[in-house]
Amino acid sequence: MKEAPPTLSTDKTPAPKATPTEASATSAPAKLKPVTVNDFLDQTRGFIGQQDFNSARVLASDCVARHPDAPQCHLVLSVLQARLRNLQASAYHYEQFVRLTPEGDSTRSRVIELLYASDFNPASYDVAALLGLLIEEPSGDASRTPAPPRRSDRDWVKLFYKRAAAHFKGGQKYEALGPASMCVLLDPKHAGCHLILGDCYQSIYKRKQSQEHYLMFLSLAPQNHPARARVSALTRH
């Protein structure tokens, strides 16, 4: 007697799906949200490499919100704002960077040099260079050639003052704001810095800011300063 041929299964029940644990083991891991300052800087540099400066700015803003005392976050946001032509926001965060970083810091000195050379308008490659500078790891090589001596804040004050005065005299009042602000930041007791910054604000109709710096000028300048009479008249209106 012949055996009956085996019957084919008609059961269409779907195979059991993988559990969430099994699925996560085979899927690509999601990109973690940044937590540390270096996390933020690494991811921001990735956006800069893709020329996605808006996303980089958003991430840098988050870095400042999460780490308000980290000078790197303020500097990166400042440079990105400058790249996007948001010059007032850029100036604010660069001021925070300078305030949070002590004179003599090598990164601070190199950044000031770069921004001075670019006249406070860094190109995209300057943005990438600054970001790379901030997150680079020290080599620990004691045999490296010592860095050449850098300018002191006093030296930079003279340069920024001359740059601001030249821009203002040439009618470039907005371009004068950056170097004038740096002049005041680096030497808050320099009467000339307050005068040129007050004139910059006065020329763009920001009376409150101009009055603040004009009053500082009057408190610091000698009685025989040639601009005293003009500034005194402006503060009385």
pLDDT tens digit at each of 237 positions of the chain: 555 555 444 455 555 554 444 443 333 344 677 888 988 988 988 888 788 889 999 999 999 999 999 998 998 898 888 778 787 788 788 889 988 999 998 878 887 887 788 887 767 677 666 666 655 544 444 444 445 668 899 999 999 999 999 999 999 998 998 899 999 999 999 999 999 999 999 999 999 999 999 999 999 999 999 999 999 999 986
Q: What percent of the chain has pLDDT over 70?
A: 75
Q: Which DSSP state fits 159?
A: H
Only one residue has tokens 């604010």, namely: 92
pTM of the model: 0.72
| Common-topology check for domains 37-135 and 153-235 | yes
CATH class assigned to 153-235: mainly alpha
- Give the separation between CA 206 and CA 22, rounded to whole angstroms: 62
Q: What angle do CA 143, 108, 56 make, to 5 degrees?
A: 110
In 3D, which of 120, 96, 38 has the Cα closest to residue 46? Answer: 38
Q: How many CA atoms lie within 13 A of 157 on its CB side?
A: 15
Query: Residue ranges per domain, the chain?
Result: 37-135, 153-235
At the topology level, CATH places domain 37-135 in: 1.25.40
pLDDT digits (tens, 9 = 90+) for 74-94: 988 988 887 787 877 887 888
